[in-house]
Chains A and B, each alone.
Chain A
Amino acid sequence: MTCIVRFERVSLTYADATEPVLREVTLSIDEGELCLVVGPTGAGKSSLLGAVNGLVPHFTGGTLAGRVTVAGLDTARHRPRELAEYVGVVGQDPLAGFVTDTVEQELAYGMEQLAVPAATMRKRVEETLDLLGLAELRDRPLHELSGGQQQRVAIGSVLTAHPRVLVLDEPTSALDPTAAEEVLATITRLVHDLGITVLLAEHRLERVVQYADRLVYLGGDGSVTDGPPAELFRHTSVAPPVVELGRLAGWQPLPLSVRDARRAAAGLRDRLAGHQPAAAVPPITEGESLRARRLVVRHGELVAVREVDLALRPGQVSALMGRNGSGKSSLLWALQGAGPRQAGTVSVRGADPKRLPAAEARRLVGLVPQTPTDLLYLDTVAAELAEADRESGRPAGSARTILDRLAAGIAGEQHPRDLSAGQQLSLVLAVQLTAAPDVLLLDEPTRGLDYQAKQALLGILRGLADAGHSVLVATHDVEFVAAAADRVLVLAEGELVADGPASEVVVASPAFAPQTAKILSPLPFLTVPQVAVALAETAETSAAETGTSDAGTAEPFGGRR
């Protein structure tokens, strides 16, 4: 095995930072490896990946000590553009990286820069179109494609240059689950078919962890450890549910796929048999905080929401699920009153938020949009909070109090855009909660959040529900729904097709089921904490059974197009 990417005692310090992001990193990645980079937000995953082709520090600034070599070339002496034929980089938002406007041109762009002869270019474009299943999209404008297609084009556009290393920085974080599956399936296929070296940072670990040859774990203090995933995952702070369950059950070696875990879990299932998960559903209080009747939202010819009846109860966290384009966002915006609504009624405390001035409507229903930063426009967190107090007519400092309860330690003088995605979400939540609405709607809040941030959000929502708010979360994230929601509503083609307790709706279909449920089926456990509670109850800590794991087994990708 030849080593293709080598980090030698690399330390990285950004210009205005006191602490280095990476400290004395020594790492060598062999040709043909799929290397998974994990770590909490802000631990320097993007910096590590950026250093591979020299974007860090050539493009971002900062000081890099030590040596990074790619295919024998030192990034200190070669700029990113000169490494283009060795390293292909794909970012989070595919649309932001497109230079041209049709699929075919985009695939050719990199080769044009590298002065690849026209005949070779033509051949490679055709090959790549087939390899990534983009052939019938070749003439299409890029902005008309779905998110998953766009990301596949982005991958294809760097593949045409025949790089030896592919660097993917959270390629699915801006995508919905279907698109994410599509992209991850493409990546794994590339690894297996082309033997290309891949460095991948990814939130949805559960989807890729089984294919990883090596795990690079960033501890958050600048330290980097690497090794086989099954070993390293024993101690990481970030882990998918299947790993957490394995850790809890003490399985050896740690299973990385649902299939392996299920084979290892026979004993666990026996032990848990007869136990019920702790009743997560609180007693449903009487009364309704929001009532919608025969709600219709149309966008031109398109019916986004079709005569939906809906009631939200205080003290309950409800999840709104459904595929892209099923009308989730339209429903949320119509409930808040800020979005269009062609027919039907919404009533909160006897009033219709749409007919009220915006300031009063948000006292009834608060909405956190898909891009929370759309609501932030001031220079500092303190200014945003003060503005929120003013808008809501609250005494000064109330927004600050709420924010500290949601996420402590956000300094007032920080710029809102410098916060992490989780902190931004907390800030916008605080701004919206300052008006003390009865009902809180959140549109895709888990996009771009890592496991820890999701855990924090979970606690926040639970707390809000306990304080008597009604919470409705539109999301694709099954694991999050399993952990957070009392009730699940499923929307399809603008119609409500399912409405019931989370434990029933989520397990009913395999596609919606969380990993824990798949492993422990038919037991009604949805999350690892539920299992932990049940295990503690049994109070018998028998030795963990060892299950043999078969390497190379693939979990079928249900949602792949």
Chain B
Amino acid sequence: MLRRLLPIAVLLCYIGIFGNGAADAEALPMSRCTTSYGVVVAVDFGHWGGPIVRGCGSTPTSGYQLVNQGGFATTGTRHDGPGFICRISYAGYRNGDGQPADQTCINTPPSGASWSYWSADPGQRSWTLVPKGAADTYPGNGAVQAWAFGGSPSFSPDSVRAHNNPPAGRSSSAPVPHSSSPAAHRSGAGSGPAPAAASSAGHSAATHQAGSAVVRATASASRSTGFVSVLPRVIGTSTSPPNIVDAQADASTRPRSSGSAWPVVVGGGFVLALAGLAGFTVRQRRRAG
């Protein structure tokens, strides 16, 4: 029975591997995105003094796929699985190391030190906190998504949105910092999540409470699911104009080395030796008894 089922199982796995639904989505050069086509994702490395890197992806796609293509990659925690986004890396930033690099990503990171996930529909001028997991969020054409570390994004949706509506194929792949004034944006985003005029160390009581309330509410869901914990806590806001960089769509993540098999062989040897020792002891005891 098992023998007969085995090929079928293998076949199913094969179909599974190649019939992957996520394959439809792909990373596009930033120039392909328009106000009505594609989704823009912006990851803010400003916490470590880095740029805001934005990329473009085709639809349909999930928020999780968007931040795992075009040079971006995420790391989950061992405790919660890949769905809990602990680190985000970009191939062109700091050698492709995931940020925050000092986070071990074994247990759930502490509140206030994790990535939060924001979204703005076409035409929307302020960020909305996404209440769902990135893998469960399917942004439509023209939407903008942002990943901010620690608090709400320091930039407005419009500052990273694809404003132009040119014929496809226009090439402007050079990273052009946006000229829009951050101050204007900040006042414009007044109705959105508090952009934190507060100091870097302390945060206003209201924000803190709201933040912890959200964390509480979602913490249980995040345990075994793909939910991304959202933490609208504000930690320091740079006052300099945002440094926005376009991602290279063809940038690939650092290839993972598959390591060497030797440690496993050595470890296996030790295990076998201990097992043999155990067997020997038991046999000797039987004989003695």
Direct interface between A and B, CB < 8 A: no
- B interface residues with partner A (beta carbon < 8 Å): none
- A interface residues with partner B (beta carbon < 8 Å): none
